[in-house]
Amino acid sequence: MKLYLNETSPFSRVVTAVALMSEKASVELVWVDPWSSPDALKQVNPFCIIPALELDDGTVLTESMVICQYLLATYRNVFLAPMDLTNKQEMALLGSAKTLMDVAFKTVALKRFTEGKNELTTRGIEGLKEALLRSKTDIRKNPAYKEKTLATLYFHIALAYIQLRHEALFEQHAAGEIEAFLEKSPFSDVLETISLETLAEKPSFEGLRNSI
């Protein structure tokens, strides 16, 4: 399989984490710059959006959630607990974590194409602030935050991306419960293996796996 990704995308990072935790998954990492619309990426995804996973038979999977679900259903994974689609607390966390990641990314992407304040960016930033504040309460009340699930993984990586790209916002609104969650996250070890510093070197999949 070939996974098209870049070094800072939170969506690429969550898929890479799941792939590394998937036993016997053989993956070639193809590092691309999606903003430059490279031909290699365009051939597998006409929208030039990452991540994209090209299977051995040529089938291409897009969207991080789809790719993660495929990997979890296809390969044995001793790190991640199976998703319980009937668990409303787990589903609530998954939905909020994925949206947190989406909005955090889009507010950064919009700045590449607009100057000054933009209504969509402003709304996104306000939403991120409110989401972080609510997350503090949810972490205390919702036991799903302590489980080794895909939902918790998405939440951890979304927070890490906000910490990177919205540093001032994170410092202002993430003190306390959120910082404690990141310190005690069940995925701290695997995500340390795919830290942004490590991914900046564009390592091979086998090199990352041998580091776990």
Cβ neighbours of residue 196 closer than 8 Å, sequence gap 6 or more: 7, 8, 164
Instruction: Judge if 2-80+192-209 and 88-187 fold alike in CATH terms.
Output: no
Integer CA distances (angstroms), 150 to 26, 71, 72, 74, 93, in order = 20, 11, 9, 15, 10
Instruction: State the pLDDT at residue 118.
Output: 83
What percentage of the chain carries pLDDT values higher than 90?
A: 92
Following DSSP, what letter does each residue of the chain receive, concatenated? Answer: -EEEE-SS-HHHHHHHHHHHTSTT---EEEE--GGG--HHHHHH-TT--S-EEE-TTS-EEESHHHHHHHHHHHS--SSSPPP-TT-HHHHHHHHHHHHHHHHHHHHHHHTTT--S--HHHHHHHHHHHHHHHHHHHHHHH-GGGGS-SHHHHHHHHHHHHHHHHSHHHHHHH-TTHHHHHHHH-TTHHHHHHT-HHHHTT---HHHHHTT-
CATH number for region 88-187: 1.20.1050
Average pLDDT of the chain to the nearest whole number: 95
Which segments in the chain show pLDDT lower than 70?
Answer: none
pLDDT at 113: 76
pLDDT in tens, 121-152: 999 999 999 999 999 999 999 999 999 999 99
Say how many CA atoms lie within 13 Å of 136 toward its Cβ.
13
What is the reported pLDDT for 39? 97
CATH of domain 2-80+192-209: 3.40.30.10
Confidence at residue 20, expressed as pLDDT on a 0 to 100 scale: 97
Domain ranges for the chain, please list them.
2-80+192-209, 88-187
pLDDT of residue 101: 98
